[in-house]
Amino acid sequence: MSDAPTYAQLTTKADAINESFEREFKRFERFFGDRLDSEFVPRLIRQLQVEGYSLADVDADLKALNELRVKFIGKKSEWMALKKLIGRIGDERERRNAGEHLSLIEVKFTDRFEPARLNLEKIGDTLRIKRECLDVTIPGRRPRRGHVHPITLVRERIEDIFVSLGYAIEDGREIETDFYNFDALNIPQNHPARASQDTFYTTDGFALRSQTSTVQIHAMQGRGAPVRMIAPGRVFRRDTPDPTHNPMFFQVEGLCVDRGITMAHLKGTVGEFLRRMFGPNTRTRFRPSYFPFTEPSAEFDFSCFKCGGSGCRICKQSGWIELGGSGMVHPNVLRVADIDPEEFSGFAFGLGIDRMVALMYNLDDIRLLFENDLRFLEQFD
Ligand code: 2NL
Q: How much distance in Å is there from the Cα of 286 to the middle of ligand 1?
A: 14
Mean pLDDT of 95-101: 93
Pocket test for ligand 1, best of 216, 228, 291 (most atoms within 8 A of CB): 291
Atom in ligand 1 nearest the alpha carbon of residue 330: 10
Nearest CA to ligand 1 atom 4: 349
Asked if omega into 226 is within 30° of 0 (cis), the reply is yes
- Which position has the higher pLDDT, 205 or 328? 328
Q: Among 50-64, 91-105, 126-140, 258-272, which is the least confidently predicted range?
A: 126-140
Q: What percent of the chain has pLDDT over 70?
A: 99
**pLDDT the model gives residue 144:** 82
pLDDT tens digits, one per residue of 12-62: 999 999 999 999 999 999 998 776 778 888 899 999 988 999 999 999 999
Residue 325 near ligand 1, beta carbon < 6 Å: yes
Out of 294, 297, 338, mutate this one to test ligand 1's pocket (max ligand atoms within 8 Å of CB): namely: 294
Q: How many angstroms separate the CA atoms of 321 and 283, rounded? A: 11
194 band by pLDDT with thresholds 50, 70 and 90: confident
Distance (Å) from CA 219 to ligand 1 centroid? 15
Measured at the alpha carbon of residue 34, what is the angle toward residues 32 and 37, in degrees to the nearest 5? 140
3-state helix, strand, coil in the chain (%, to 5): 50, 20, 35
Distance CA 158, CA 353 (A): 9
CA of 253 to the centre of ligand 1 (A): 6
Average pLDDT for residues 76-92, to the nearest whole number? 92
State whether the beta carbon of 292 lies less than 6 angstroms from ligand 1. Answer: no
Q: Is 291 in the pocket of ligand 1 (CB under 6 A)?
A: yes
Q: What is the CA radius of gyration of the chain?
A: 47
Residue 294 Cβ < 6 Å to ligand 1 = yes
Cα(229)–Cα(269) distance, integer angstroms: 12
Q: Pick from 328, 184, 188, 359: which is nearest to 254 by CA? A: 328
Model pTM score:
0.67
The answer to whether 343 and 360 are in contact (CB under 8 A) is: no
The DSSP bridge pattern shows strands 227-236 and 168-169 to be parallel
Q: Which of 209, 213, 302 to mutate to test the pocket of ligand 1 (most atoms within 8 A of CB)?
A: 213
The response to whether residue 197 sits with its C-beta less than 6 Å from ligand 1 reads no
Q: Average pLDDT for residues 2-17, to the nearest whole number?
A: 88
pLDDT single digits (tens) 148-179: 999 999 999 999 999 999 999 999 999 999 99
CA distances from 48 to 57, 62, 125 (A): 10, 15, 14
Residue whose CA is at the smallest distance from ligand 1 atom 3: 350
- Largest Cα span, the chain: 144
DSSP string, 128-173: HHHHH---TTSPPPPP------HHHHHHHHHHHHHHHTT-EE----
Residue nearest to atom 15 of ligand 1 (CA): 326
Side-chain half-sphere of 102: how many Cα atoms within 13 Å? 26
Measured from the CA of 220, which atom of ligand 1 is nearest?
A: 11
Nearest CA to 222 among 172, 292, 267, 177? 172
Cβ–ligand 1 contact at 255 (below 6 Å): yes
Alpha helix positions (H), 40-91:
40-51, 55-73, 78-85
Give the number of the atom of ligand 1 that is nearest the alpha carbon of residue 326: 15
Q: Is residue 172 within 8 Å of residue 187, measured between CB atoms?
A: no
Best residue among 211, 251, 344 to mutate for probing ligand 1, ranked by most atoms within 8 Å of CB = 211
Work out whether strand 175-177 and strand 345-352 pair parallel, antiparallel, or are unpaired.
unpaired
The per-residue pLDDT for range 331-349, each reduced to its tens digit, is: 999 999 999 999 999 999 9
Question: Is residue 35 within 8 Å of residue 122, measured between CB atoms?
Answer: no
